Amino acid sequence: MLTVALPKGRIAEETLEIFEQIFGTTFRFDDRKLILEADGFRFLLVRNQDVPAYVLHQSADIGVVGLDVLEEKDEDLLRLLDLGIGKCKVCVGIQEGKEIDYSAPELKVATKMTHIAQKYFSKKAMAVEIIKLYGSIELAPLVGLSDVIVDIVETGSTMKQNGLKVVETILESSAYLIANKNSFIEKKEEITSLYHQIHTVIQSKAKQKA
């Protein structure tokens, strides 16, 4: 039995569709249930940011999670495969008509991704004050809480509708299949065979698109 942690929402749905294609059965969570057991798998439905914790502590053998979350958490996990779904970017945003003031003694950065933001500006040798927020990040520069934001951009409409623009892209993200290192040793055959099956499905999907 393989336990698979999935992030609630579209990525979970798209991952289950891949499993359905492989195994020719239906994988659906009942109403509010958080565990689904079927066909030798146990799927866990968790918050996106919590997937690394479930896999790191081996409550799940494998998981699916965005590269943005993996980079932010920076845990000791195996990255097996880019699934090519859940694409988004982590960007620096600023108000339209403004530019980053590189001469300022300190740049105020609002973000929920403090680790990614800190690392990015350290590399540029810029002094920053990081303001940790949990959502609605785009609001911060509009009310003077920060000079810039570091946030997820998918369609770009949240930034646009709030008068912000992307000035720099830090990371191009998509969902990855990850594994716990011990599970990968203990259940190597199961995980490797699943890896190959998923790989085949996403390759044929990519060919259909091309």
Positive or negative, the CA dihedral 101, 105, 111, 112 is: positive
**Residue 68 binds to ligand PRP (criterion: CB under 6 A):** no
* Nearer of residues 26 and 136 to ligand PRP, judged by Cβ: 136
Antiparallel, parallel or unpaired: β 148-153 and 62-66: unpaired
**Residue 136 binds to ligand PRP (criterion: CB under 6 A):** yes
**Residue 154 binds to ligand PRP (criterion: CB under 6 A):** yes
Burial 82-104 (b: 16+ CB within 10 A, else e): ebebbebbbbbbbbeeeeeeeee
**Residue 133 binds to ligand PRP (criterion: CB under 6 A):** no
Q: Look-up: residue for tokens 């190959």? A: 196
* Nearer of residues 60 and 150 to ligand PRP, judged by Cβ: 150
Among candidate residues 7, 11, 13, 9, the one with its CA nearest the CA of residue 26: 13
Write the Ramachandran bin of 149: left for phi over 0, alpha for psi from -120 to 50, otherwise beta.
beta
**Residue 94 binds to ligand PRP (criterion: CB under 6 A):** no
SS in 3 state form for 114-163? Answer: HHHHHHHHHHCCCCEEEEECCCCHHHHHHHCCCCEEEEEECCCHHHHHCC
**Residue 169 binds to ligand PRP (criterion: CB under 6 A):** no
Could you tell me how many residues of this chain bind ligand PRP (CB under 6 A)?
A: 12
Nearest distance in Å: CB 104, ligand PRP: 25
**Residue 145 binds to ligand PRP (criterion: CB under 6 A):** no
Nearest distance in Å: CB 24, ligand PRP: 33
**Residue 166 binds to ligand PRP (criterion: CB under 6 A):** no
Nearest distance in Å: CB 75, ligand PRP: 20
* Nearer of residues 39 and 154 to ligand PRP, judged by Cβ: 154
